[in-house]
Amino acid sequence: MTPGWENNDYTREIQVPEPPSERKRGSWYLLTGLIIGLIFGLVYALLVNPVIYTHSTPASLQEDDKDSYRSLIAQVYAATGDLERAQLRLALLENKNPVYALGTQAQRCLAEGYTTEARALALLASALQSESPVVPTTPVPTQTLDYSTPIP
Protein backbone atom coordinates (compact mmCIF):
# COMPACT_ATOMS: atom_id res chain seq x y z
CA MET A 1 0.00 0.00 0.00
CA THR A 2 1.00 3.47 -0.59
CA PRO A 3 1.93 5.44 2.41
CA GLY A 4 -0.85 7.78 3.50
CA TRP A 5 -3.72 5.72 2.17
CA GLU A 6 -4.12 3.88 5.36
CA ASN A 7 -5.35 7.11 6.94
CA ASN A 8 -9.15 7.27 6.92
CA ASP A 9 -9.19 11.03 6.41
CA TYR A 10 -8.90 10.61 2.63
CA THR A 11 -11.44 7.90 2.30
CA ARG A 12 -14.17 9.57 4.22
CA GLU A 13 -17.27 10.68 2.25
CA ILE A 14 -17.97 14.37 1.87
CA GLN A 15 -21.47 15.29 2.89
CA VAL A 16 -23.15 18.01 0.81
CA PRO A 17 -25.88 20.02 2.54
CA GLU A 18 -29.33 19.61 1.06
CA PRO A 19 -30.69 22.56 -0.94
CA PRO A 20 -33.43 24.61 0.68
CA SER A 21 -36.91 23.59 -0.24
CA GLU A 22 -38.32 25.14 -3.39
CA ARG A 23 -41.56 25.93 -1.64
CA LYS A 24 -39.98 28.54 0.65
CA ARG A 25 -37.94 30.52 -1.88
CA GLY A 26 -40.16 30.33 -4.97
CA SER A 27 -42.60 33.12 -4.15
CA TRP A 28 -39.92 35.50 -2.86
CA TYR A 29 -37.85 35.15 -6.03
CA LEU A 30 -40.88 35.83 -8.13
CA LEU A 31 -41.87 38.91 -6.12
CA THR A 32 -38.38 40.42 -6.10
CA GLY A 33 -38.00 39.70 -9.82
CA LEU A 34 -41.23 41.53 -10.57
CA ILE A 35 -40.26 44.53 -8.45
CA ILE A 36 -36.78 44.78 -9.97
CA GLY A 37 -38.21 44.40 -13.48
CA LEU A 38 -40.77 47.13 -12.83
CA ILE A 39 -38.12 49.51 -11.53
CA PHE A 40 -35.80 48.89 -14.49
CA GLY A 41 -38.70 49.23 -16.91
CA LEU A 42 -39.75 52.59 -15.47
CA VAL A 43 -36.18 53.91 -15.46
CA TYR A 44 -35.76 52.87 -19.09
CA ALA A 45 -39.11 54.26 -20.22
CA LEU A 46 -38.87 57.57 -18.38
CA LEU A 47 -35.17 58.41 -18.40
CA VAL A 48 -33.28 56.39 -20.99
CA ASN A 49 -35.73 56.29 -23.89
CA PRO A 50 -38.79 58.49 -23.22
CA VAL A 51 -41.60 58.83 -25.75
CA ILE A 52 -41.33 61.96 -27.87
CA TYR A 53 -44.43 62.97 -29.79
CA THR A 54 -43.78 64.60 -33.13
CA HIS A 55 -46.09 65.78 -35.86
CA SER A 56 -49.17 65.77 -33.65
CA THR A 57 -52.03 68.14 -34.32
CA PRO A 58 -54.12 70.17 -31.89
CA ALA A 59 -57.10 68.01 -32.89
CA SER A 60 -55.49 65.07 -31.08
CA LEU A 61 -55.44 66.92 -27.74
CA GLN A 62 -57.70 66.03 -24.84
CA GLU A 63 -60.70 68.26 -24.15
CA ASP A 64 -59.03 70.17 -21.29
CA ASP A 65 -56.05 70.93 -23.48
CA LYS A 66 -58.31 71.98 -26.35
CA ASP A 67 -59.99 74.43 -23.96
CA SER A 68 -56.60 75.87 -23.04
CA TYR A 69 -55.68 76.13 -26.72
CA ARG A 70 -58.95 77.95 -27.52
CA SER A 71 -58.40 80.27 -24.60
CA LEU A 72 -54.92 81.17 -25.80
CA ILE A 73 -56.21 81.84 -29.31
CA ALA A 74 -58.94 84.09 -27.91
CA GLN A 75 -56.50 86.02 -25.72
CA VAL A 76 -54.13 86.57 -28.64
CA TYR A 77 -57.06 87.73 -30.76
CA ALA A 78 -58.15 90.15 -28.04
CA ALA A 79 -54.64 91.58 -27.96
CA THR A 80 -53.94 91.76 -31.71
CA GLY A 81 -57.32 91.75 -33.47
CA ASP A 82 -56.05 89.39 -36.20
CA LEU A 83 -59.19 87.41 -37.08
CA GLU A 84 -57.66 85.50 -39.99
CA ARG A 85 -54.90 84.10 -37.81
CA ALA A 86 -57.42 83.11 -35.14
CA GLN A 87 -59.57 81.33 -37.73
CA LEU A 88 -56.57 79.39 -39.05
CA ARG A 89 -55.61 78.29 -35.55
CA LEU A 90 -59.15 77.29 -34.64
CA ALA A 91 -59.38 75.24 -37.85
CA LEU A 92 -56.56 73.05 -36.50
CA LEU A 93 -58.88 71.86 -33.71
CA GLU A 94 -61.28 70.45 -36.34
CA ASN A 95 -64.43 71.45 -34.42
CA LYS A 96 -67.74 71.12 -36.26
CA ASN A 97 -68.92 74.47 -34.92
CA PRO A 98 -66.11 76.59 -33.44
CA VAL A 99 -68.50 79.42 -32.53
CA TYR A 100 -70.53 77.03 -30.36
CA ALA A 101 -67.36 75.63 -28.75
CA LEU A 102 -66.09 79.13 -27.96
CA GLY A 103 -69.48 80.19 -26.58
CA THR A 104 -69.88 77.20 -24.27
CA GLN A 105 -66.32 77.59 -23.03
CA ALA A 106 -66.96 81.30 -22.39
CA GLN A 107 -70.02 80.40 -20.32
CA ARG A 108 -68.05 77.85 -18.30
CA CYS A 109 -65.29 80.38 -17.66
CA LEU A 110 -67.82 82.99 -16.60
CA ALA A 111 -69.44 80.52 -14.21
CA GLU A 112 -66.03 79.70 -12.71
CA GLY A 113 -65.21 83.39 -12.26
CA TYR A 114 -62.66 83.88 -15.05
CA THR A 115 -64.23 87.00 -16.51
CA THR A 116 -61.25 88.19 -18.56
CA GLU A 117 -60.89 84.83 -20.27
CA ALA A 118 -64.65 84.61 -20.80
CA ARG A 119 -64.69 88.08 -22.35
CA ALA A 120 -61.90 87.16 -24.79
CA LEU A 121 -63.66 83.92 -25.79
CA ALA A 122 -66.99 85.70 -26.30
CA LEU A 123 -65.29 88.42 -28.35
CA LEU A 124 -63.74 85.86 -30.67
CA ALA A 125 -67.01 83.92 -30.97
CA SER A 126 -68.81 87.13 -31.85
CA ALA A 127 -66.22 88.03 -34.47
CA LEU A 128 -66.41 84.58 -36.04
CA GLN A 129 -70.19 84.64 -36.09
CA SER A 130 -70.41 88.03 -37.76
CA GLU A 131 -67.47 87.24 -40.12
CA SER A 132 -66.29 90.81 -39.72
CA PRO A 133 -63.44 91.67 -37.43
CA VAL A 134 -64.58 93.10 -34.15
CA VAL A 135 -62.00 95.56 -32.95
CA PRO A 136 -61.10 94.58 -29.41
CA THR A 137 -61.06 97.47 -27.02
CA THR A 138 -59.79 97.49 -23.50
CA PRO A 139 -62.31 99.28 -21.32
CA VAL A 140 -60.85 101.59 -18.73
CA PRO A 141 -62.60 101.17 -15.41
CA THR A 142 -63.82 104.45 -14.01
CA GLN A 143 -65.50 105.37 -10.79
CA THR A 144 -67.83 108.29 -10.43
CA LEU A 145 -68.00 109.77 -6.98
CA ASP A 146 -71.24 111.03 -5.59
CA TYR A 147 -71.31 114.68 -4.58
CA SER A 148 -72.18 113.74 -1.05
CA THR A 149 -69.02 111.63 -0.68
CA PRO A 150 -66.28 113.61 1.06
CA ILE A 151 -63.03 113.83 -0.87
CA PRO A 152 -60.06 112.80 1.23
Per-residue pLDDT of the chain (152 residues; tens, 9 = 90+): 555 555 555 556 677 777 665 555 667 888 899 999 999 999 999 999 998 888 888 999 899 999 999 999 999 999 988 999 999 999 999 999 999 999 999 999 999 999 999 999 999 999 998 875 555 555 544 455 555 655 55
Q: Are the beta carbons of 133 and 127 closer than 8 angstroms?
A: yes
pLDDT reported for residue 55: 83
Position 90 in a domain: yes
Q: Which residues contact 59 (CB under 8 A, 6 or more apart)?
A: 92, 93, 94
Position 30 in a domain: no
Q: Which residues contact 35 (CB under 8 A, 6 or more apart)?
A: none
Residue (of 128, 108, 130, 127) closest to 117 by Cα position: 108
Position 35 in a domain: no
pLDDT reported for residue 148: 60
Structural domain including 84 reads 61-130
Position 92 in a domain: yes
Work out the number of other CB atoms within 10 angstroms of the CB of residue 149.
8
Q: What is the DSSP letter of 48?
A: I
Position 27 in a domain: no
pLDDT reported for residue 93: 94
Domain count, the chain: 1
H helix runs in 3-114, sequence order = 22-43, 63-80, 83-91, 98-112
Position 53 in a domain: no
